[in-house]
Amino acid sequence: MLVTAVVGSGIAAARLSPTDVGLQLLENAVATALALGALILVFGPVSGAHLNPVVSAVDWWLGRRFGTGLSVRDLAAYVPAQVAGAVAGAVLADVMFGLPAVTWSRTDRSGANLWLAEVVATAGLVVLVFALARTGRTTAAPAAVGAYIGAAYWFTSSTSFANPAVTVGRTFTDTFAGIAPTSVPGFVAAQLVGGLVAVAALAAWYPHAGHTADAVVVPHPIRESAP
C-alpha cells in the first residue's frame, strides 16, 4: 500500500500537472506522507509497521543483545514480505491507472550526489524511529515519520527513497516515481550505509536504544490474544 501510494500519486500528479514538475513532486510528497502515517496506524498493532528492511535490520541488530526487537527468523520473513509487497504495490498502481501491469522504469537515478542523499535520508529516518521508541513517544510515529519522509522529498536530491524494498518496487513502473533497474544497486547500497550511519549515531545519542527495540516502529504484540 505504501508503494501504491507513491506510484499512484506520482501517476496522478503527472496527469494533473503535466507541465509543472515542482507541483508534481509536491502532490507526490503530500500523498506519500499522509499515506505513510495512515499505514503506520493500520499496521503498527499487527507487525510494528515494519515497512522498511533497513529499519527491520537495525531493529534486529540493536535488540539482539537484550532479547528485544526482531529475531533472525522474523527478519528473514519480513524482508521478502516487504519486497514482495512493494512489487505488488507498484503493479496495483499501474493497473488502477490503466497502464500495463509491469513496465520496467527507464528513469536513471545514479550519481554520487543521489547516493549521498540516500545515505542522509535513510540515516535520518532510522534515527527518528529509534529515538521515538527510546523516549517513549511511539504514539507520535505516524505523524513524525510521515512528516520526515514528506520533508525529505524536498531536502534530498534523490527525493528520499530511503527504503530498499520501495526502491525495488519502483523499478516495475515506468512512471513519475520509477527508477531504472540499473540504478537500484547504488541506491540500495547507499541506504544500507545510511543504516550503518544511524547505528553509529544511535550509539552516541541513544546508547540504550536496544532496550526498546520491541517498540520499533510502534509497539506490537507477538501474538494477538483470543477474545
pLDDT of residue 226: 43
Locate the domains of the chain by residue range. Answer: 2-211
Which residues contact residue 180 at a Cβ distance below 8 angstroms, ignoring those fewer than 6 apart?
104, 105, 106, 107, 108, 109, 171
Provide the residue-wise pLDDT of the chain in tens; the chain has 227 residues. 999 999 999 999 999 999 999 999 999 999 999 999 999 999 999 999 999 999 999 999 999 989 999 999 999 999 999 999 999 999 999 999 999 999 999 999 999 999 999 999 999 999 999 999 999 999 999 999 999 999 999 999 999 999 999 999 999 999 999 999 999 999 999 999 999 999 999 999 999 999 999 999 988 765 444 44
pLDDT of residue 221: 66
Instruction: Report the candidate in 87, 97, 86 with the shortest Cα–Cα distance to residue 8.
Output: 97
Is the domain spanning 2-211 CATH 1.20.1080.10? The answer is yes
Which residues contact residue 29 at a Cβ distance below 8 angstroms, ignoring those fewer than 6 apart?
150, 153, 154, 159
Reported pTM: 0.94
| Residue pair 37/213 in contact by the 8 Å Cβ criterion | no
Grid cell at residue 168: 525495488
